[in-house]
Structure 1
Amino acid sequence: GAVQIESEEESEEIAEFSGVVLSDADIQVLESLLRYFEKLGQQNDKDLRIETALAQRRVGDIQQRMGKLDDAETSYIKAWQLYEAVSRNLASQPSQNLHNDLIDQQVSILSALISTQASQGKFLLSMENYRKARKLIESSREYATSEQGRFQLAQLLNNVGRLAARPMLDRPLWNDRSLPAGGGPPRPPGPLGRPAGPGILLGPNSPQIRKEMELNREAITLLRELVSESPTTQGYRVALARALRDETRLLRIRGNVTEADRSMDEAIQIIEEMVQKSPENLGLQYVLAETLLAGNEATMPLAAPATPNLKSEDLNRALRAHQIADQLLSESPLEPNYLSLKAVALIRLSQFTNVLGRAKSISYLDDSVRIYQGLVDRFPDIAIYSAKLVESLMRLSRTEPNKSLEHIDRAIAIVDKQLKSKSKAGFNSLMERLKDRRSKVEAKQN
């Protein structure tokens, strides 16, 4: 999961939550507030649905931070239903300002719901809510053309485009050419809502990639306009950098390396300038490190222990991202986003075997396994942590051939545990492929 900095308001929320260990007690406090609103409304015949929806949204945010994704999804749906009921009641003669505020709140909740459902592998539901949110934005011309409406749409486009890029099981895991072909793990639906076929790699000219590029271009166009109109608004610039980062990945898939490098350089420059102006902002430091690690996913298949086409610039960026992650963790040692960031940096560094040596690569992967195992233990409902743990183990199985079977067996045990949980999307086929891998490694060793 990535820290979201969509506005100054949300940047403050990051500072509020970073390093804070949330508990059921926090949820109980908010749930008591919900009961209070309900009771007050009954006694005073006053409509407190908007206040209740805001509190319900807050409950969902805390549940999501705790990794209770099913509960968070339920809370977001309840908040959405309350806003929807208020909107229906006001449909006859609503004030335009109130109508637009309600649209804004509903779209914001749907965006949170999309992220929560995607984290659970519920990609069809995520796409359904994307279409619902877009329809809401376009239901009011005044809102759709407003600064906030355009920003909400741009963020929505960014999020839905990434559904095909950062699914429950990461793209490198699907694109592992050393896994047996056929019956591969189901990919998330592309922006058209249709899943890519099993065992088929998303090629540069696939409908999913073309549609994703179309959505990405629309987001970049909107965000460039917003940055031009309000150059000091932090949220617009961060969102533009993230959209450019996504464009980098897509351009690399299409083989447009020069254009991809240009987009990545611009994304890094945008965040670098913001960090220089606000060096104390941990959220911006996080986004900078995240950006430094992005862009090369399409050229980094899981199949190889090292990737020859990585450049020295990529190594320097990975080292810097690792350093930033350590700085962030010194401030907030338990923050899951910072821990995951460090693990991603370690995985990236492990790919420079030719430069750093095999022993160092193994050490980096051991550390990433330790971090992701800790996150899986703390947040068992967040399937992406299990997927990344499996990825780290499978990289170790190649980098450390004498322990290959040991690492594969551990990966199989993790997938088996996921199959017994609620988050099963993609894991059935992955289990078959891991078992096939194990058989081949065992046969080779014998």
Structure 2
Amino acid sequence: MSNNEALRQELVELDKKYFIHPTSSLQDQQEKGPSIIFDKAEGVHVYDLNGKKYIEGMASLWNVNIGYGRKELAEVAKEQMEKCAYVSSFTGFSNEPAIRLAAKVAEMTPGDLNGVFFTSGGSESNDSAYKLVRHYWKVKGKPEKTKIIARRRAYHGVASGSTSATGIESFHEFTTSLAPGFVHIDPDDPEDFRRAIQEEGADTIAAFLTEPIQGAGGVNFPKEGYLQEIRKICDEHDILFIADEVINGFGRTGKMFACEHFGIVPDVLLLAKGISSGYIQLGAVVVREHIHQDLIKYSKGVLMHGFTYSGHPTACAVGLKNIEILESENMVENSRVMGELLGSKLKELQNETDIVGEVRYLGLIGAIEIVKNQETGERFEEKLSGKVVAEARERGLILRNVTYWEKDTIVYSPPLCMTEQDVNDFVSILKESILDIQKSL
């Protein structure tokens, strides 16, 4: 037995005995062990303990935007850790990396989004936003404005509030109780938002919450004019507009933020994932100038919300370097160009295979529908996207499938540093995998 195999077997047994995996089948883990034990990563590729190479077609969890193995981020983390690894931001304490990152985020976000509250990730950003907007209305003399209107098929995280805001039923079924004050509406029809306002009462609604492009729900794009109409309705009824760009932000869509595609400036912007490309835990809530100023003016005493790691100096130093790389290496533009190339090649699969239906994409986020009939969109009785994803993994391409509701969907979001050769390899493996499954039908 090789040293690598002995190590792998040791780790498999330890994993099965001690490691409870998030969003995984506990039964599969016990029967089969971890599906892959990753060992190293570089660029768009990850490697397992045996040295097998994979294209990380999901950038792990939609988040390794600048790609793997960037030593600059390790170096800046080391420097900051040696200088001042961590200090609290409570009671007015501060640190230079947090100050400079807040200023940078304010500079780069759309419109007058200027007030920045740091978190450790997307779920924290979501839950913080719900509390902050409710607090905002309370100090403005409208404490009854507490409800959050969210869209079905949306994903907003797994903390108590963000699970309740998520519009995917399986996340609700996991727990025995959801937080009150969340209402879900049709994801495509702005008139359903108007109906909800009429039924609930505008004076009870704190905010509308949306991903500009839904991610984990299947990479769903808004109908033309939808977000613009929702923005208009929010303004008419004194409702705040929260844009969750945890997945969308920092170049994923071919612009720095997805809201820019739609000409929307939200009142509150939620960030995480791409802000540090997954090299360290970091997220943020960004509010418009008037909200920030009203909080300053009307809040009395201490802002009773904060996390131990809000404004963590090492995390903020890594975030600053990550953004510097995104900008200096033109990765947002590369996302646009390589995204268009990848998307156009995936559309060709509609002619080269029998089971590829709609292909939708923007920048380096996209989805492929698996269908029985390409003309009508009829689905197979047995969903096949999981089989395609499994086959692609065997061939060295990591993807993800979504089978909520009627969907039979493959989704992708590779690192933004993709090259033309990476695109060709990605499409070649996926095509072979689809054709292999197609032959078995």
Q: Higher helix fraction: Structure 1 or Structure 2?
A: 1
Name the TM-score class by shorter chain: under 0.3
Q: Higher strand fraction: Structure 1 or Structure 2?
A: 2
